[in-house]
Structure 1
Amino acid sequence: MFINAIASYLPEQVVTNAYFQELNGLTDEWIVERTGIRERRKASSEENTHTMALEAAKKITESLPYDISEVDLIVGATYTPHDNIFTLGHALQHALNISEIPVVTISSACSSLLNAIEIVQGYFAMNKASKALVVVSEHNTAYNNEDDTKAGHLWGDGAAVLSISKEKAGEQNWEIKDLITGGAANVGKASEGVTLKPLHRGLIMPYGKDVFINACTYMPKVSKQVMEKNRLTVEDISFVIPHQANYRITKNVAGTLGVPDEKMISNIHYLGNTGCAGCAIAMDENKGKFEKGNKIIVTVFGGGYSYGAMLVEI
């Protein structure tokens, strides 16, 4: 499989830590020390999970190496849906006016990007598709409880779209060499560590320490599994893009893997936790620095718990 185009979208509104100091007394220093976050993006009242995704899709259609009508699979991924019936994937199909193709939308919390790509892998393997769009979009601020002093300051909004083909297409062909995902719902406080119950308090993280511990366990563990499976060492890896949850987690994962800071890609400082869209946004933001032959590990961890790692060769 090959990633042959990628695009992202971020809302214009920037929310700095000063907002939370005024709201609930959390200082900039306190938030930065514990999370690394200085600011995040917030969707406007006219924006939602669908509209942000469609803005990213508009950008990607400009760089697709084939006509949009050739897309024969759309996979959406979000845990912050705008509509549970007219799903993210179907909203993209409607906007692009592509008829009678498989369209699914999935959620495995912040791991959804890699699970969406894994679904594409399955369709390709069964010869049911050959050109797919994966769309990831999170409207965290629509669900967030800002008064929650444990996690209300973490969340940001954003979206990204990747075009993935079974065979090489066009000039950009980042090969997806391997992909491993898994669930860890029977570990720790997986069922209550971080939850989003729309009929209750929204997006909260009552057991952040347990989430932290397991994220720091599973992301390096599955990254090592991918490297070992492909007979690679840390020295062979050019960059690591971890889920953008907390910069302390990023530093911990880097230490466990033995990866120097300059190889760790992060956008959490200015975007906050953008959920399953975070790694895809980071891939788009940094595509100018990637060089042919670079090997990149994308590793994720989501509430529930879920985890995964993907090896991409530029």
Structure 2
Amino acid sequence: MYSRIAGTGSYLPEKILTNAELAQRVDTTDEWIVSRTGIRQRHIAAEDQRTSDLALIAVERALEAAGVDKSEVDLLIVATTTPDSIFPSTACTLQNKLGVHGFPAFDIQAVCAGFIYALSTADQFVKSGAAKCAVVVGAETVSNLINWEDRGTCILFGDGAGAVVLTASEEPGILATQLHADGRYSGILKTDARPKQGELVGDPYVYMEGNAVFKFAVKALAEVAESTLAKAGLQKSDVDWLVPHQANIRIIESTAKHLHMSMDNVIVTVDMHGNTSAASIPLALDAGVRSGKIQRGQTLLMEGIGGGFAWGSALVKY
């Protein structure tokens, strides 16, 4: 038994924050941001929008695309760094908003690698027979963690949600996944804050050592791409589309170069929504599918890396 992606969906909040608008708040320019990151704008959740609200719309669109009724879902996993609350999990909150109940629903926290971690977990459930129809969501309101006076981070992040529906199939779908983590690097990309007796202890904003993160990401993503292909018994030339975490155009270009892939075969959406953490890969996937670029039967390589460090990849026959 295999798990296959039956449908995709996504949602971006209505409010758009452009580079020009950011340049009015911090010492930067549109040209500077685009040349170093590839980002032109990002979406920001409304004051009354929580992570589960963004996720709900993405899930409803994915279910519609899959032709699956919500009553058929028997597993829900939400990858998020920005949950609605400490508990209950955002997955339980989302399950309630969907109007379904009883089946397992839980969150996974692996920051920008969260969607790959969640997809791999759901794949194990389906392959083992523990689930027949799983919904996997990456959803974030990262803007809540941003110091809008920090030029190094405020230009990078945005909000959004993406979802996929996985169904059991006798035909191969998810061919191979690889997950990794190394906590020795936790200090260079983090948000330290924790609640204690009604107060936040530690820095509540995203902290990042950009150059160190870049160097580690380029090496780790190249290695995990190779190991995942080897696990599936495929070559670089077998990949039709690279669907990477949308963090920085330079990292994306480096990964494509390592795979000997033209950028024409890379789904790039970082310019339109910036780094949406766990939401960025399913957002890019849905954009590729709905644009008609990604077709049934093609082979996709999805990969991402985030704080932890946690990283991973998934090779998929779409």
Look up the match of 1:252: 254
What pairs up with 1:148-227 in 2 under 5 angstroms? 148-167=150-169, 175-186=173-184, 190-198=185-193, 199=200, 200-227=202-229
Q: Secondary structure at the match of 1:22?
A: coil
User: Could you tell me which of 291, 303, 307 is aligned with 1:303?
Assistant: 307
Q: Secondary structure at the match of 1:3?
A: strand
Q: What do the CA deviations read for 1:172-200 (whole angstroms, capped 9, x no partner)?
A: x88111111111223xxx11111123434
Q: What do the CA deviations read for 1:87-145 (whole angstroms, capped 9, x no partner)?
A: 22112210122221111111011100011112212323443221111121010111111
- Which runs of 4 or more aligned residues in structure 1 lie more than 6 Å from their structure 2 counterparts after TM superposition? none
Look up the match of 2:123: 121
Q: Secondary structure at the match of 1:259?
A: coil
Between Structure 1 and Structure 2, how many residues are aligned?
307
Q: Secondary structure at the match of 2:153?
A: coil
What pairs up with 1:247-286 in 2 under 5 angstroms? 247-286=249-288
Look up the match of 1:293: 297
- Of stretches 39-48 and 256-265 in structure 1, the one that deviates more from structure 2 is 256-265
- Of stretches 61-70 and 282-291 in structure 1, the one that deviates more from structure 2 is 61-70
Q: What do the CA deviations read for 1:17-38 (whole angstroms, capped 9, x no partner)?
A: 1122111111111111111111
Q: Secondary structure at the match of 1:4?
A: strand
1:229 Cα offset (Å): 2.1
C-alpha distance in structure 1 between counterparts of 2:24 and 2:147, whole Å: 15
C-alpha distance 174-19 of structure 1, shift in aligned 2 (>3 A): farther
User: Could you tell me which of 94, 102, 105 is aligned with 1:103?
Assistant: 105
C-alpha distance in structure 2 between counterparts of 1:257 and 1:60, whole Å: 29
Asked if the contact 2:147–2:154 (Cα under 8 Å) also holds between the matched residues in 1, the reply is yes
Overall identity of the aligned pairs, in %: 30
Q: Secondary structure at the match of 1:44?
A: coil
1:62 Cα offset (Å): 2.4
Asked if the contact 1:194–1:203 (Cα under 8 Å) also holds between the matched residues in 2, the reply is no
Q: What do the CA deviations read for 1:228-248 (whole angstroms, capped 9, x no partner)?
A: 222322221111011111111
Q: What do the CA deviations read for 1:197-252 (whole angstroms, capped 9, x no partner)?
A: 34343332331111111110111111111112223222211110111111111111
C-alpha distance in structure 2 between counterparts of 1:246 and 1:40, whole Å: 13
One-letter amino acid of the structure 1 residue matched with residue 315 of structure 2: L
Look up the match of 2:197: none
C-alpha distance in structure 2 between counterparts of 1:277 and 1:164, whole Å: 17
Structure 2 gap segments, 5+ residues each:
194-199
C-alpha distance 153-231 of structure 1, shift in aligned 2 (>3 A): same
TM-score (norm 2): 0.92
- Of stretches 5-14 and 198-207 in structure 1, the one that deviates more from structure 2 is 198-207
